[in-house]
Each structure stands twice: as structure tokens, then as C-alpha cells.
Amino acid sequence: MNELGFPIISLVTFFPIFGALVLMFIDKEAKDTLRGTAMVFAMIEFFISLPIIFAFQSGTADMQFVERYTWVKSAGLSYYIGLDGISLWIFMLTTFLTPICVLCSWTYIQKRVKEFMICLLLLETAMLGALVSLDLILFYIFWELMLIPMYFLIGVWGGDNRIYAAVKFFIYTAAGSVFMLLSIFFLYYLNHKMTGVYTFDLLELYKLNIPVATQFWLCLAFFVSFAIKVPMFPLHTWLPDAHVQAPTAGSVILAGVLLKMGTYGFMRFAIPLFPYASNQFTPVIATLAVVGIIYGALVALIQPDMKKLVAYSSVSHLGYVMLGIFAFNMQGVEGGLYQMLNHGVSTGALFLIVGMLYERRHTRMIKDFGGIAKVMPVFATFFMIMTLSSIAVPGTNGFVGEFMILVGAFRSLPMHAVFATSGAILGALYMLWMYQRVMFQPLDNEKNKVLKDLNVREIVTLLPLAILVFVMGFFPGYFINKMNASCEHFLKTYDQQVAMYKQQVEDSSQAKLAQVMSANQLKSTLSD
Amino acid sequence: MFDYIWLVPVFPAIGVLINGLLGRRIEAINKNLIHWIACGVIALSFIVTCTIFYQLLQLPAAERLHQVTCFTWIHSGVLKTYVAYQIDPLSMMMAMFVIGIGFLIHVYSIGYMDGDPGRYYRFFVYLNLFMFSMINLILANNYLLMFLGWEGVGLCSYLLIGFWFEEEANAVAGKKAFITNRVGDFAFLIGMFLLFTGLGEHGVWSLQFDKVFTHVHLLTSSQATAICLLFFIGCTAKSAQIPLYVWLPDAMAGPTPVSALIHAATMVTSGVYMITRSNILFSMSPLAMGVVATVGAMTALFAASIGLVQNDIKKVLAYSTVSQLGYMFLGLGVGAFAAGMFHVLTHAFFKALLFLGSGAVIHSMHHAYHKVHSHDDAQDMRNMGGLRSKTPITYWTFLIGTLAISGIPGFSGFFSKDEILWQAYSSPQGHWLLWLIGAVAAGMTAFYMFRLVFMTFFNDCRAGEAAEHIHESPATMTVPLCVLAFLAAVGGYLGVPHALGGSNLFEHFLEPIMGMGDGKLLQDAATAVAHGAHHVVHAAGETMHAAAGHVAETVHTAAHAAAGHAEVEAHHGGHQPLWLEYLLMVISVALACGGIFIAYMLYIVKREIPAALAEKYAFIHRLLLNKWYIDELYDVVIISPLRGFSYFLWKGIDVGVVDYIVNGVARIVGWGSTAVRYMQSGYVQSYAVSVVFGTVVLLAYYFLKAL
């Protein structure tokens, strides 16, 4: 059945639901029990997901740990899941971040702890499910399922303006998804028309030869849906609101995993399904990505709210990911994938850090702080490490991803790469300026003088991320090796398909030309 | 022993880990342990370096290259980079003096940072981290690892400038340093991409020095020029040249040992190191070389002009550093790579000495002020004076450093500076104007340095009641001063030029890494010719013309290389008359002496003149005092517009346009729904009306259709 001999992915994917069920039976006033139980489940979840890394075969681009059961036979629906080098690490990142989210909510969340933890665990299942689905409808179900717990996380446990943010988040993303659903069905019928088979099997649909004009519209629908999720400029405005209003754990999940669903979607669905249209869209997407990089950085620069600043920095960072993917070479694509993980680690940690300050001072305004490094030296160290990771200083994970992306981009889109590189200057500018105003300068606010440094729980929350920053910065090989085969395959099929479609387009235009010519000939002979 | 080169960067890294993770505990137990660990790891590094250096010397010059690969760093498709180190004369020479001086400054810091509880360990962590980065920068065998060091030292510089972060000015200065360096790093990165893809077109996907340099002839000359210029922009940031020098004077906000180590002796010279390392690349682009020389000369003069009037003792030294770095680039730009590197070495000795000396002065002043609870500026030379008798060791060592930087014959600065000036005049890329600028700047240097000495150590003390509390610094500070003074005095004898009867050991030592020196380029050219011939055979008959062009090009390369070789030969043989070299030497020394004499007249004999001069030429004085208002200019031209534009993007575009549309759509949907809502009112009458109306419409439709 698969490499481990039992349905490991299903187990990992649905285990959190089991946790949520158990939580339902716990008294909602027993807050510490609830937290503890959630933590235990999140940790078990992480540990049972670990064997996947070790059992994962890095030499092959095939789907691994595949499970496949027919679901609705007549409709061609199946429960079809598996992992490859593209999804592996985001999958692991999800199981890794969830315990951290539980930990960081320990004291932050005081009301409705039970429901909060249940939401968190359900969200985990939805995310994992979306990452492993190889059936379009199955994917779509998980994809939409992610919205609901997230909607509640923002709408119930969020800040003052939480309803606006939650609704905006929901409608923005749902609106995009509708196009994708239409597109999925269209694809389904198209496939039937051409092959006589009804199926939502992604790998089967990859093989479909879609007429160029149709491909364009289908691709656009997928792109819009994923671009909103990423978010790409100019579809990003839900993000700052969602982040600012969301509780810390929500922001961490949002930045760490949910946004990656967009970029992952491009790599798993949009591009392989519609290679020719993707190829034609490349200049547009790459330009939007670069605009996003610079725009996000500039807007981040003048944000008065720390969390909003980090949110806009996400727009900038995800721009790098998109640029890398649309460079369509090894460095770009692997760099993009790597940067997804980096962003999950560093931005996730930055949201934790902002949350820790917020919990102490109930404000996130930069101007309310200053000189914090003096009273919170341990915190200052973590904050600095994450800042460095975010601005891609060599030796941290951020640099590896950014460098690979830029090298890749420079090979295929040199001018884009040059502009994108200038984003690194702006990145340093807004991060260090924030750090300076929050952590350095005179400690003159009385309320700040009594702040306590991190406690053990908070250190435990941040430490794994800090370690990852350096491990991923110095030894990226371990991670990238496992992506290699899949990325190579991704690029190879992309190149082949694009070449094939190009040939088709050429042939058809030649045929048209020939038609016109022969018609002319006919006319001329007739007139003669 | 060569294979253990990785120990050199690893020792400081261990220091960082131990003190970084446990520093607070260790400091609480025993403060001394902190500096024992921090200095100990550097000492271990130094021992390893010395051993390797010694072994390198045992080898014949042609075999002095050894590479050690530790592990693969980033590998993705054709991009494959390693953490790998290179042992050759250039890297080992740099490593020797960087780690050596680094060690001395670590020791010095024990005394200097003594009174800073709670941060003592952090200071040493940063220093160790700096050493780690700097060692990587120097020993790297590829551009990417060099870049790790390159940004790493920038980071440490940032952390150390803002070390006393409670002062807003310090925090701002640190950030300014980092951002300015980022601008340079941006160019460096683009240069690296261009190099990588440029060579990649020919199947050489590498950033490793030896591979790059043996294939550098594959680049077109415009590619080479672009790469060199981009690299040089990187250098203008790191090594504080026009137009990106602005961060260095502000960087003096950091503790003085930091100024000595990072902002004088080591980090700021890494630009010079990088260009010397890439000399084969730069030799391909006369344009880039010209830019380097011109910018270097301009910076030397420009910074010296600002140094003339500064009153802060460290600011004077900062501008003198900028100016001296300008000299180094002047040397590089005219093709005198060895001379440039030689000045790096001597400058490291005397400038570290001067900074540590100024640190000792500030330390003494600070303690004296502390005793009398005064808050006067311990760095302002107008508060000093007469320290000669109170701090004799500092005075004598400082004087040696000053003589060295002023280029007084016999001291180290003389040999290196003179070599650069001579090359600026005599080398094929040189020009008499470059020489003149350099010589005038030398005179100004002598003036402002002696102005500093006279204001600080001579006349009466102006510190008021604090004066009697001023006394010599502890031994941990004075011993490094003495060692450096010795080096500053005699370091120059490593490279006594031929004209003075020396054999220029230094230049010979570096020859293996110089493209023109050991005929490496000739060799490459030969390969290129063979390559070209190969092409000819293949292309014969088809594209005779193109092939001929190719041959012509390769022959040209060969000729160029041969010419380069000949130049070196000619230089050694001396095709410029010897008397000219002596004459220029005499002139520059005379200018230096003139500078000293004027300083003596103005600050010892007729002390009222400077004020009168300042008043008479108030405009120029103010211009110089305010550093030509360059900072203000940058603020108006870059910083403020950027901030304004960002604000516009946020409020104008993000909120004003994008979100307006998004919310607008929501609103329209809302209105639409409200309108539609009336249809579902629950009143049977209105439903009935709708039904009737609908029926009428339908009937009308069919009737009309039937007609």
C-alpha cells in the first residue's frame, strides 16, 4: 500500500479530529485540562508525522504514501491522497506549527478555550487534507473547510474590529474559490468529452490536452483563487485586516500555512493543469510578484502597528515565492518552496513575538514601546534572530530561499530579479526601523519599565523556531534534497507541455494560413 | 595542518555559542570567565592560523594554494555552493593580521568594557561573532561564502554600533550602517548573479574563485565591466567610499574597541580585499579600474577635507579612515593591487593603534569626568589638552601612530602610501592628477592628525576640575597599544620598495594570486588561443570571417596579458626614471611636513588663529564642519520622498483604491440585496401582483412572437 505499510497520511490528517472529539467531552471550565489535552494531541500528531520524513524517498518524483479508495464511482470521485517533494515540507510545517499555536494561546486565550482548541485542531485537519488531496473535489472540500475554523478564530477571538476582518477574509477567499469550483467542473466535463471518463483524479487530468483558448479562462479562474490566498498584489487587502484582528495563533497559522496554500496551489494545480496558459501569464504574474515585493515593503515601512507591519511584510515575502515559482527553473522553484517554509518559520515567529508583547502591554503600536531590550533581553535576542531571518541575512534560512529565488529569477527574468533584489534593502529598512523603535532607544514609558522577560513556556514556544532558522540557514541540503526529484519532474513536464502546446498553436495557425491560402488560390483560379 | 583550516572560523563560533547561550549565568558566577573564553577562542584561532601560515611559507610560491571543502551549502540544479576555505598568500596574510589584531583588541576590551555590567558578555559575543564572519569573508573560496562573511560583519557592525542602544543616536547610527551596507550588498548580489549567469552561458556554473578566474576570459568586456562596477558599489558601502561612506563617521557611536577593530582595521578594508581577490576580473575592465581609482582619490581628498575641522577625536579618526581607504582604492584602481593590500596591512596597524589610543584617552577622560560627576563630552578635543604627562604611554604610542599615518619616512605608513602614490603616477592606468590629489590629501592628513595630537596631548588641560583625575589606563589596554605601536613603526619594512633598496617582500609574497604576476592570465590566454584555433578549424569554410574575428580577439587578450606581464616586469626593472620616483617621494614627504608645521603653528604657537580663520571663512568652515551637508542631502533626496511615497501607497492606494473597490463591491451587493429583499416581503398581495404582472409579460411575449 505504501512505504510504511499502513495509511500514515490518513492517520496524520484525521488524528486532530479525534483530538477535537475528545476535547468535546471535557468540561469547558477546566481550562488547563483543555489546553493540556490539546497540547498532548498536537504533540502526538507531530510525532506521528515525523516518520514520514524518514520514510520519504527522495529519489522519486512519484506520489508517496498513496492511499486511494473509490468514493462515488459513478461520478469519478475518489479518496485519493499522497505526498511528494512539493507538499512534504509544508505538510510537516503544519504539524510542527500547531503545537506552537497551542502553546502561544495558553494564556492569550481566556474565553471559550474549549471551542478555540477545537477550531485549531479542525483547522489542522483541513490544512493537512488540502495538502495531500490528489482528487480535485476532495481538495476543494478541504480547501473550503479551512475557511470555517479560521473564520471563527478571527471572528470570535479576534480584536475590536474582528467581524469586519473575518467577513472580509471569508468573502474574499470564498469569492475566489467559486471561480475555481466552476473551473473544476468545466475540467471534469471537458475530460469526459475528450476521454469518455468521468474523473476528478488530478494526475489523470494533468494529461488532458486542453484547447488553448479554454485553458486561458480555466487557468485564470484558478489563478485568481490562489492569488487571493497568497495574497498577490492587488488582491492582498484582506490580509492586513485578518492578521491584525486574528489572535496570535490565528496569525501564525495564517502566515505559516494558509498563505502557502495559495503558492502550493499554483505548483500543484494551476501550473501543471494549464501549463501553456501559465507560460503565457508568466510576465504578468512575475511583474505582480515584484510589485508585491516592493509595494508590500514600502507600505510596511510606515505602519504604526507592529502586526500590520509584519502582515505587509508577508505580502512582500510571498512575492518572492511567486517570483521564484514563475522563474521556471530549479533554483527559482526550489527557492520558492524553501521560502514558503522560511516564511512560515520567521513570520510565524514574528507574529508570536508581537503577540507576546501584546499580551503584556495590550497594545501593538510601535510608538508605545522603546527600550524594551533593556527589560527583556531574552525576548530581544529572539526578536533579533527572527528579524535577521526575515531580512535574509546569510546564515539564516531566509537568505538561502531568497538567494535561490533571485538566482533563478535572474536567469529567466533578469530585470524582475534586479527589482526584487532591491526589496532586500527595503526589507532591512522596515524591519530594523521597527526593531529600533521597539527594542532600542530610551526606555521612557513607565509601563514598559516593569515588563517581565519571557517565561519558560514562551521560550519553549520560540526556541524550536530559532533553532530551525539556523539549521535551515546552514544545512539547507537536507530539506532541498527531498524536493529535488519532484521539482525536476515539475519543470520537465512543464517544459514538455509548453513545447507541445506551442507546437499545437503553431500548427493550427499554419493550418489556418494554409486554409486561407488555398481559399485564395481557389478564388484566383476561379477568377481566371 | 591545512585540512584543519575550518578550525579557524569554528573557534570563534564556539565562543559565540558558549557566551551567547550561557553568558548571563557565567557573568553572574565569574565575570573573568567571559573574557577568558572570548579571548581564548581567538587565541586558538590565531595559533592555528600561524601554524598554517608557517607551513604555507615552507612551500614553493607556485604551490601556495590549498582548498578545503567542509560541506555543501546551497545546492539546487546548476547552483552548487560549498562552505569551503582557501589557503593562499592573500587569504593567510589577511587572516594573520585580522586575527592578530582582533586578539589584541579583545584583550584591550577587557579593560575598556569593564564598567558595563549585564552587557559584558554580550559585547564579547558580538566581537566573537564578528571574528567568525570576518574569517569567513577572508578564507572563503567562493563569492557566496564571502558574502556570508560580508553581510555577517555588517550585522556585527550594526549590533556593536548600537551597543548602547538606549541612546537614540546610537541605534540610528547602527541602522544607518546596516541599511547603507545593504545598498552595497544589493549591488554585490546583482554582480554575483551576473557573474554566475555570464559564465553559466558557457557551461561554467560556479562562484568559486579559481573556477571563475580561470574562465573569466569567457565574459564579454561589457559583462566584466558591469560585474566589476557592481562589485565596486558593494565596496563603496563596506569600505566607506563616495557615495556610500556616510555611515562610517556615524559608526563612531559604538564602543571604541569596535571602532578600532571593525571600523578601522578589518571590516572596512574587506572591500579592498575583495577587489584584490578579484584582480583578474578587474584587470579585464580598464573602465572599472578607472572608476575605482577616481572614486578612491576623490574620497581620499574629500574625507580629509572634513577631517580638518572636526572636534570629536573619534570623528577625526573616522574621516581619516575614509580618506586612507580612498588611498587603498586609488592603488587598486591603477593596478597596484599589492600596494593597496600593503596599505591595508600598515593601516590596520596604525589605525587600530590610533583608535585604541583615542579609546584610552576617552576612557581616562570619562573616568575623570565620572569622578567629578561632570557630563561634559569625553570625546571632544576642546575639553582635552596636556594629556602628554598624564598618560605617557598613550601619548608615545599615539605619536608613533600619527607619524605612521602622516607618512613620515621610516614609519610603516610611509612605505605603503608612497608605493601607492608612485604607482598612481607611474602605472599605465595612472595619471599625474591622481598623484596630485593623493599627495595633497597626504598633506592634509598630516595636518589634521597633528592638530589632533596637539589639541589632545599638548598645551594645558581644558578639562577643568576633572583634570587632576585623569590617569593612565590599565595594562590590558596599554599592552596592546605597545604591541601595535611596534607594528606601526616597523610593519613597513615588510615591503620596502626597490627604489629604496628593498626587495618588496610583500609584493612578491602576494604575486601568486595576482593575475598578471605569475603568468596565470598568460596561461589562460594560451588556453583561449587554443580554444580559438579549435574554432578556426571547425568554422573554416563556413564562417571564415567570424572565426577570424574570434582569433583576433583572443590574440588581443593574449597580447593584453603579455602586456600586463611586461608592465609588471617593467615596473620591477624600472622603466620610469628612478630620480622621478625620488622626487615625488620628496614632494609628498615635504607636503606632510608642511602639514605638520602648519598644525604646529596653529595649535601650539599661535592658538588664536584657527578661531579667526573659522570666522573669516565662516562659510567654508561651516560647510566642512557639517560634512558638506551630504547627510542632509540624502535625507531630502532619498529618505523623505521614500517615506512620503510609502505613505501615499498605504493611504492612497491600499486603503484609498484597492480597499475602496473591495468595500464598494460589498456595498453594491448589499444595496442589491436590500432592493431584492422587498420582493420577499411576506405579503400575499404583492406576491399576487407579481404573479399577475409576470403572466401579463409572458402572454405579451408570446403574443408578440406569434404575430
pLDDT digits (tens, 9 = 90+) for B130-188: 999 999 999 999 999 999 999 999 999 999 998 888 888 888 898 899 999 999 999 99
pLDDT at B490 over 50: yes
The Cα of A464 is separated from the nearest Cα of chain B by a number of Å equal to: 15
Secondary structure letter of residue A394 according to DSSP: B
Residue scoring higher pLDDT (B424 or B460) = B424
Of A302, A407, A422, the CB nearest to B647: A302
Task: Name which of B77, B179, B186 is nearest A331 (Cβ-Cβ).
Answer: B77
| Closest partner CB to A424 (pick from B79, B167, B182) | B182
Chain B residue at shortest CA distance from A491: B77
pLDDT of residue B568: 47
CA distances from A66 to A141, A179, B516, B581, B703 (A): 19, 28, 61, 80, 63
Pick the residue from chain B with its C-alpha nearest to A298.
Answer: B646
What pLDDT, on a 0 to 100 scale, did the predictor assign at position B536?
44
Confidence of residue B569 (pLDDT cuts 50, 70, 90): very low
User: DSSP character for A305?
Assistant: B
| Strand-pair partners of A83 | A64
pLDDT of amino acid B687: 81
Among A266, A282, A189, A166, CA closest to A224: A266
- A425 with B147: Cβ contact below 8 A: no
Residues sharing a CB contact under 8 Å with residue A528, sequence separation 6 or more, in sequence order: none
CA B577, CA B566: separation in Å to the nearest integer? 17
**pLDDT given for residue A50 in this prediction:** 92
Rg (C-alpha) for chain B, rounded Å, is 32
B-facing residues of A in 306-325 (CB < 8 A) are none
Residue of B573 and B201 predicted with greater confidence: B201
Contact A379, A353 (CB under 8 A): yes
d(CA B316, CA A126): 63
Encode pLDDT of B204-217 as tens digits: 898 999 889 888 88
A373 contacts on B by Cβ (under 8 Å): 165
- Cβ distance B476 to B111 under 8 Å? yes
Q: What is the arithmetic mean of pLDDT over B365-376?
A: 82
**Nearest Cβ partner of A477 from B75, B175, B185?**
B75
The mean pLDDT of chain B is 84
Quick one: average pLDDT of B462-478? 81
Q: What is the pLDDT of residue A139?
A: 93
Count, residues in chain A: 528
> What are the chain A neighbours of B200 within 8 Å (beta carbons)?
411
Choose between A341 and B624: higher pLDDT: A341
Alpha-carbon span A288 to A296, nearest angstrom:
11
Low-confidence ranges of chain A (pLDDT < 50): 1
Amino acid letter at A182? Answer: L
Residues 6+ apart with CB under 8 A from B141: B67, B82, B84, B85, B86, B208, B209, B210
- B576 pLDDT higher than 80: no
Q: How far, in Å, are A462, B692, B707 from residue B704 at the CA level? A: 76, 18, 5
Inspect the interface and report whether the beta carbons of A410 and B197 lie closer than 8 Å.
Answer: yes
Which residues, in sequence order, are CB contacts of A32 under 8 Å at separation 6+? none
- The C-alpha of A91 sits at a distance from chain B's nearest C-alpha, in angstroms, of 21
Mean pLDDT of B516-540: 46
Rounded CA separation A335/A324 (Å): 6
Q: Is the pLDDT of residue B526 over 50?
A: no
Q: Measuring CA to CA, how many Å separate A503 from each of A281, A489, A500, A513?
A: 18, 21, 5, 15
Q: pLDDT, tens digit, for every residue of B239-272?
A: 989 888 888 888 888 888 888 888 888 889 999 9
Q: Could you read off the pLDDT of B595-606 as tens digits, one per residue?
A: 999 888 888 888
Neighbours of B63 (CB within 10 A): 10
Name residues 193-222 of chain A within 8 A of B (Cβ): none
Q: Which residue has the higher pLDDT, A341 or B367?
A: A341
Amino acid at the residue B16: V
Within an 8 Å CB–CB cutoff, is residue A237 touching chain B? yes
* pLDDT band at residue B523 using 50, 70 and 90 as cut-offs: very low
Grid coordinates of B2:
591545512
* Percent of chain B topping pLDDT 70: 91
Restricting to A residues 338-397, those with a Cβ less than 8 Å away from any Cβ of B are 371, 373-374, 377, 388, 393-395
Give CA separation, B247 vs B175, B270, B572, in Å.
Answer: 9, 16, 39
pLDDT of residue B545: 46
Strand ranges for B168-305 from DSSP E = none
Q: Cα distance from B652 to chain A (closest Cα, Å)?
A: 11
Of A299, A330, A334, the CB nearest to B646: A299
Distance from the Cα of B341 to chain A's closest Cα (Å) equals 26
Assess contact for B46 and B97: CB atoms under 8 A: no
Residue B72: enclosing H or E segment and its boundaries? strand B66-76
Ordered alpha helix ranges (H), B59-142:
89-112, 120-139
**CA–CA gap between residue B359 and residue B478 (Å, rounded):** 11
Please list, in sequence order, all residues whose beta carbon lies within 8 angstroms of the beta carbon of residue B491, skipping any fewer than 6 positions away: B345, B346, B349, B412
Chain B residues with beta carbon closer than 8 angstroms to that of A168 = 662
Please give the average per-residue pLDDT across B518-534, as a whole number. Answer: 46
- Kindly report the number of other CB atoms within 10 A of residue B329's CB atom: 31
Range B75-102 average pLDDT: 91
Say what percent of chain B tops pLDDT 90.
32
Residue B559, pLDDT score: 47
Q: What are the residue boundaries of the structural domains of chain B, listed by start?
A: 1-274, 285-515+577-624, 629-706
Q: What is the pLDDT of residue A289?
A: 94
Give, in order, the Cα–Cα distances in Å from B34 to each of B8, B15, B58, B119, B121.
20, 9, 37, 11, 6
Q: State the smallest CA–CA distance between residue B285 and chain A in angstroms.
A: 22
pLDDT at residue B616, rounded to an integer = 83
Cα Rg of chain A, angstroms: 24
Partner-chain contact B165 A441, CB within 8 Å:
yes
Q: Does residue B429 have a pLDDT over 90? A: no
- Please report the pLDDT score of residue B515 as a whole number: 67
Q: What is the pLDDT of residue B514?
A: 78
Disruptive mutation site among A237, A375, A416 for chain B (greatest number of B CBs within 10 Å): A237
Residue that is written with C-alpha cell 510571498 in the block = A318
Contact (CB<8Å) A407/B71: no
Which residues of chain A lie closer than 8 angstroms to B83, CB-CB?
474
* Binary contact (B78, A330; C-beta < 8 A): yes
Q: Which of B136, B131, B147 is nearest to B187 (CA)?
A: B147
Q: Which of A161, A169, A243, A302 to mutate to test the interface with B (most CBs of B within 10 A)?
A: A302
Select from B24, B70, B74 the residue whose CB has the most chain A CBs within 10 Å, as the one to mutate to test that interface.
Answer: B74
C-beta atoms of A395 and B654 within 8 A: no
Q: What is the pLDDT of residue A528?
A: 64
Query: Could you tell me the three cell numbers for B222?
Result: 561589457
In 10 A of CB B17, how many CB atoms? 13
Return the C-alpha torsion angle B654, B655, B661, B662, nearest 10: 90
